[in-house]
Structure 1
Amino acid sequence: MKIGFITPEYPHPKVSHAAGIATSIKNLVEALVEKGSKVTVFVYQQDSDAIIEEKGMKIHLIKKKRFKFCTWYFYRKHIQNYVNKVVSKENIDILEAADWTGITAFMHFRVPLVIRFHGSDAYFCKLDGRQQKFKNFMFEKLALKGASAYIAPTTYAGEETRKIFGLDAKKIKTIHYGLQLENFENESPETYNRNTILYIGTIIRKKGVLELAEIFNKVVAQNPVAKLVLIGSDAPDIKTGAPSTYKLMESLLSAEAKNQVGYLGKIPYSEVKSHIKKAHVCTFPSFAETLGMVTIESMALQKPVVNTSIGWAQELIDDGINGFLVHPSEIETFSARILQLLNDENLCRNFGKAARLKVEERFDINKIAEINMEYYNSVLNG
């Protein structure tokens, strides 16, 4: 099978941006290639045009362009024409794109298009309780209506997206993101920096970082040596207009807590695993995700996780068995769960082992690649 992916990001030194979407696509692409599929990745909004061949796949970088008017339309047509030429030349069977910004609105391809719900602007606006721009909604809706089928990383994300856009539930298949588990081995889970709590993700309101400040205040009041390590890019705050959400977070910290916080900013992805291994507890109090790659990465590395309890997270963690689930607004309960883990090595060990087993069962990219291939075939045979 020959598969093409249309994406704004991919983990490669020549690609200008890569985040959670990029990681999940890369994991899938490499597993598909391993299983004999031919894969072409089209990365738009890049600094220059280029074609990169490596690891049995091709990456086409599509340069960002500006037009005298209606760039939003004509750039889409430029991507469409570029992709269709490659589709014809290389006999690509099926294409996949993300829902974010409805990039495939107004595009018409020569092969079926599957859209994966990495998280549309409409989806995140709904979870955030924000008003979405009408233009953005229409782009996303047009893109989705033009697809042959859909993939949701969690049933929750699929159902919420279906309700927002009025999609046919029969065309939506839940297929989780996956990990290359051989890259997430923790040979010594009993070795870590005691009392270190780790958060990984953009420093942004929707990720629950302001609540995390209040949670950590309560943790430090009970455990003065506890330390909170934050990894991720700072972002402006959409509600207040403040240029730095981290500064807002910092303003909520008590004097004692502020001395125990280490903010590392954005670091290379290759370094993140070592920080997860060093952590005592990982925590992700998010209000808005479709799945949350860092959660399953932490679980794979046998870390006890205190996660949000909202929808998607219930498909990752079984509360009290392989982690804890708490709503981010429940500050007292959230801090109590973190303290419980910091004070109980046996519980941490048991959660870590059970978390690894859950990831092996549900998030092994080799199994997930097979499910993706079966679904692509079902769309093609339609």
Structure 2
Amino acid sequence: MHICFITHEYPKKGHPHGGVGTFVQTMARALVQRGHTVSVVGQHYISRDEDENDQGVAIYRLKKHAVKGLSWWFNAKDINTKLKALHAVDPITIVEASELGLAFIKKLKGVKYVIRLHGGHHFFAEAENRGINLWKGFQEKRSFKKADGFVAVSNYVKTHTEKYLDFYDKPLAYSPSPIDLERFYPRPDIKIKRHHIAFVGTVCEKKGIRQLILAMPKVLKEVPDAILHIYGRDWYFADGTSYIDHLKTDVLPNLEKGPEHIIFHGPIPYDEIPSKYAEAEVCVFPSHMETQGLVAPEAMAMGKPVVFSELGPGPEIIEHQTNGLLCDPHSPDSIAECICELLINKEEAESLAKKAAKSAKELYSIEAAADRNTNFYRSLIRTN
């Protein structure tokens, strides 16, 4: 098969990327290893084209247009032109995109189009209790109409997406995003730093980082030398102001104790993330909303005791008090209670960590995910 992913987020050194980019890279490399041809087409970060090859994955980054009010048209035109050119040389079997990705894609005869539910505009509008942007809402609905099939990364994202968008009785599969178990695995060679707590992810409100910071004074009452390490890129408000600056100026100074126990490291290279998990005694991800989330399974695969959110897909990933702990991400008290339980009760933490590694290996292996996805692709090809 020739599978083509449409995404602007494929990882590029020196540029931050999110979970969608990580997923596409992981899956694309795995499909290449199975003998499939894989292409990735998307906008570049800059105004010039650039082609590259990543372990057999052909990446086509198209120059980014900045024409006020018409950028979407020029960008879509370039993507359609590239897809047509690729198809002419080596016929494409599957085109895959996220929720809005097919809105302005012209369908090629004989090609099947898949939308992967990573969490689109309607999904997050509900989650964040905000209105639907008419332009984005229009694109998402238009995109869904063009799809020949859908893949949900969690039952939660499927259930909440279908409140607003129609799947048109098209085939739908469930396939959690995989993690790279050759990168994320137990590392006994790396010394654990006593009472260190790690958070990895975009530093923004919906990741629960404010509540995690507010939990620290309560943690420090029980574990006075605990330190919270925050690794991740900044998020910016509509007016361009920094969320990290907001935390440093409006939240940290009001803590009754502990600002010096909270360290912002900023974004770090993806290759360094496993070592940061390994150094921590506990990994904490109190997200208000996720479609699946990769950080919790990554830390679990490394044999770390993990605190995740009881909301959204949390219970699909962690069974509370079996392979991790689930907290109320809106409650600093709940977050602090879970952290203290793991820092103080070493035997429990070790037991949860071992079971976490086992379950992550079973559920999130690249091999299992590649099987699920190729089987679904083939089932679409067989349909008229």
TM-score, normalised relative to structure 1: 0.93
Distance 1:210 1:198, change over 3 A: same
In the alignment, structure 1 residue 288 sits paired with structure 2 residue 286: no
Correspondence for 2:179: 179
Q: Shift in Å at residue 7 of structure 1?
A: 0.4
For the 8 Å contact 1:10–1:17, the answer to whether it is kept is: no
- Pairwise CA RMSD: 1.9
Q: Distance in 1 between matches of 2:58 and 2:240?
A: 41
Per mean C-alpha deviation after superposition, the further-off stretch among 281-290 and 81-90 is 81-90
Q: Which stretch of structure 1 is more off in the superposition, 261-270 or 63-72?
A: 63-72
1:41 equivalenced with 2:40 (yes/no): yes
From 87, 105, 109, the counterpart of 2:107: 109
Inter-partner Cα distance in structure 2 for 1:169 and 1:351: 40
User: Which residue identity lines up with residue 74 of structure 1 in the other structure?
Assistant: F
**CA shift for structure 1 position 68:** 7.4
Shift of 1:50: 2.3
> Paired residue for 2:81?
81
Corresponding residue for residue 362 of structure 1: 363
Identity of aligned residues (%): 29
CA distance in 1, matches of 2:74, 2:270: 34
Task: Give 3-state SS (helix, strand or coil) of 1:53's partner.
Answer: strand
Alpha-carbon offset, residue 67 of structure 1: 4.7
Q: CA deviation at 1:237?
A: 3.9
Aligned residues: 377
Q: 2:98–2:117: 8 Å Cα contact kept in structure 1?
A: yes
2:243 corresponds to 1:245: yes
Distance 1:319 1:69 in 2: 48
Q: Identify unmatched segments of 5+ residues in structure 2.
A: none
SS at match of 2:313: helix
Give the counterpart letter for 2:276 in structure 1: H
* In structure 1, distance between residues paired with 2:226 and 2:301: 24
* Residue 315 of structure 1: how far off its partner (Å): 1.0
In 1, distance between residues paired with 2:211 and 2:69? 43
2:161 matched to which residue of 1? 161
In structure 1, runs of 5+ residues without a counterpart are none
Which one-letter code corresponds to 2:34 in the other structure? K
Partners of 1:73 and 1:103 in 2: CA distance: 13
CA distance in 1, matches of 2:290, 2:25: 19
Q: Does residue 297 in structure 1 map to residue 298 in structure 2?
A: yes
1:1-382 pair list within 5 angstroms: 1-13=1-13, 16-47=15-46, 48-67=48-67, 70-99=70-99, 102-110=100-108, 111-168=111-168, 171-188=171-188, 191-237=191-237, 243-250=241-248, 251-253=250-252, 254-382=255-383
* Equivalent residues of 1:76, 1:103 under 8 A apart: no
SS in 1 for 2:65: coil
Cα deviation 1:5-64 (Å, max 9, x = unaligned): 110111233x85522111111111111111111111112244221222342231111111
The letter for the 1-side match of 2:73 is Y
User: Which region of structure 1 is more displaced relative to structure 2, 255-264 or 362-371?
Assistant: 255-264
